[in-house]
Chain A
């Protein structure tokens, strides 16, 4: 089955700086890697995802990169803003079974104005 490790657990940056969160996974058959943002009192929100047939995907200030050989994927946020402050989770599917995601432990990102 899948195991997902996420680092760092906390990250503090100045507004305008970049933030990078990294995850490693164990199941080489995994083919889908979503990132979620969870704000206080809310459920996780899907912000970007990547499938194993591409190495990078961008959406405005956020991007995700995937290294299948090393079995790791990263979330990159550029030009950070205070509203980016939240807990971010990476995930991977359990044995490629849809509907069952294995989540990383989460990264609490704090963007200081």
Chain B
């Protein structure tokens, strides 16, 4: 069974631009969560999607958004990028909404210059 796939692996963007990251969950998994990982703040929850609906949201500004498609694939978008948005963005898939087991992808390394 293929694992969680995130694309792209690396991105370099300029301040003020926007970016879209993609995540394909494990086959059969229907819940997707996104996390931001930085050296200073560690792993922080961004949001969770299930059945194309956002179910939980972390404490991030509205510049961070996401969506989920009918095939459970998910995208997250960050608008008006700031230097502090440089981080590893991780996607985790779970079998169902409310499931605590989470399986992570390799992440997308975003650098904002």
How many whole Å from B37's CB to the nearest CB in chain A?
Answer: 9
- With A94-B45, A99-B48, A100-B58 already in contact, the answer to whether A34 and B105 are too (CB < 8 A) is no
Is B24 close to A, CB under 8 A? no
Partner of A98, one of B4, B6, B94, B103: B94
Contact B107 A43 (CB under 8 A): yes
How far in angstroms is the closest Cβ of chain A from B48? 4
The range of chain B's interface size is: 20 to 34
Encode B71-113 as 1/0 by CB contact (under 8 A) with A: 0000000000000000000100010111111111111000000
- Whether B22 sits at the interface, judged by CB under 8 Å, is no
When C-beta atoms are compared, the residue in chain A nearest to B3 turns out to be A43
User: Complex: how many Å from CA A58 to CA B34?
Assistant: 29
Find out whether the CB atom of B99 lies under 8 angstroms from the CB atom of A44: no
> Given that A98-B31, A105-B42 are contacting pairs, would A46 and B58 also be in contact in the complex, using a CB cutoff of 8 Å?
no
A88 on the B face (CB < 8 A)? no
Quick check: A99 and B55 within 8 Å, CB to CB?
A: yes
Inter-chain contacts of A102 with B (CB < 8 A): 45
| A89: Cβ under 8 A from any B Cβ | yes
Please determine whether B102 and A42 come into contact, CB atoms closer than 8 angstroms. Answer: no
Q: 11 interchain pairs (CB within 8 A)?
A: A32-B100, A34-B100, A42-B106, A43-B105, A46-B101, A94-B45, A98-B97, A98-B99, A99-B48, A99-B98, A100-B48
